[in-house]
Structure formats: structure tokens, C-alpha cells
Structure 1
Amino acid sequence: MADWGPVLVATILFVLLTPGLLFQLPGHNNRVADFGNMRTSGASIIVHAVIYFAVITIFLIAIGVHVYAG
């Protein structure tokens, strides 16, 4: 049996937390957030990477998401 939980969580979070796709922190032109602008900056990449690391750690280690297939 393969545990697909970490793969699914990582893929979904990667898509949702891509800077500029749904939202971007910090935004362009001195805004706190932009939504759906499809632009990115170095600061937003760092912020989204930290958010991604924190959320994936919570899901995989603290909650322990497991999806078994096969």
C-alpha cells in the first residue's frame, strides 16, 4: 500500500500557494495583497514559500494526513 497523502497535500498546496495565481503577499505598488494579478516578486516568493512550509508541516506532521491506495 502506498501512502499518497503527502503527495496530494504537497501538490494541492503548491498550486494554491503559487504567488499571483489566487493571491499574492505582499502585493505590487505598496499594497498588502493582490488577487489574481499573475505577477510575482522576490518578496512574494519568499513569503509564499514560508507559508507553504508552515502549512505542509501542519498537515503532514501535526495532523498526519494519510491516503492509502492499492
Structure 2
Amino acid sequence: MADWGPVFVSVVLFILLTPGLLIQIPGKGKMVEFGNFQTSGVSILVHSILYFALVCIFLMAIGVHMYTGS
């Protein structure tokens, strides 16, 4: 059986935390902007730190596991 938990968590967080897609922290004009489809270097850094922290929490602290097959 394959453990698909880390793959699922990583893909979902990557989609949700892509800078400028749903949310951008910090934004170009405001602290938080929603759906502007733009990004900056600082925003990429902030989102990558958030991504790393959330992946560590979900995979190491909580231990998300999803098994498929028989």
C-alpha cells in the first residue's frame, strides 16, 4: 500500500499558497491582497516559509496518512 498523504497535502498546499492566485502576503499596495495574479520576491519568500511550516505541521506533527489499494 502506498502512503499518499504527503503527496496530497503537498499538492493542496502548493495550490492554495501560490502567491497571487488566491491570496498574496504582502501585497503590492496593501498588506494582504486577494486574487490579483501578481507576485513579488518578498511575497514568494513569505509564501514559501508558510508552505514549509504547514507541511511540517501536517506531515510530522499531525501525521496525515492516506492509503490506497488493497
Instruction: For residue 36 of structure 1, report the CA deviation from its aligned partner.
Output: 0.2
Instruction: For residue 48 of structure 1, report the CA deviation from its aligned partner.
Output: 0.0
1:13 equivalent in structure 2: 13
**1:40 maps onto 2:39 in alignment:** yes
In the alignment, structure 2 segments of 5+ residues that lack a partner are none
Instruction: For residue 33 of structure 1, report the CA deviation from its aligned partner.
Output: 0.7
Structure 1 residue ranges (4+ consecutive) displaced by more than 3 angstroms after TM superposition: none
2:3 equivalent in structure 1: 3
Instruction: For residue 49 of structure 1, report the CA deviation from its aligned partner.
Output: 0.1
2:23 equivalent in structure 1: 23
Report the 3-state secondary structure (helix = DSSP H, G, I; strand = E; otherwise coil) of the residue aligned with 1:62.
helix
Root mean square deviation of aligned Cα: 0.4
Q: Deviations over 1:38-57 (max 9, x none)?
A: 00000000000000000010
Please give the TM-score of this superposition, normalised by the length of structure 2.
Answer: 0.97
Please give the TM-score of this superposition, normalised by the length of structure 1.
Answer: 0.97
> Percent of aligned positions with the same letter in both sequences?
62
Distance 1:7 1:22 in 2: 21
Kindly indicate which of the two structures has a greater share of residues assigned to strand. Answer: 2
Alignment size in residue pairs: 69
In the alignment, structure 1 segments of 5+ residues that lack a partner are none
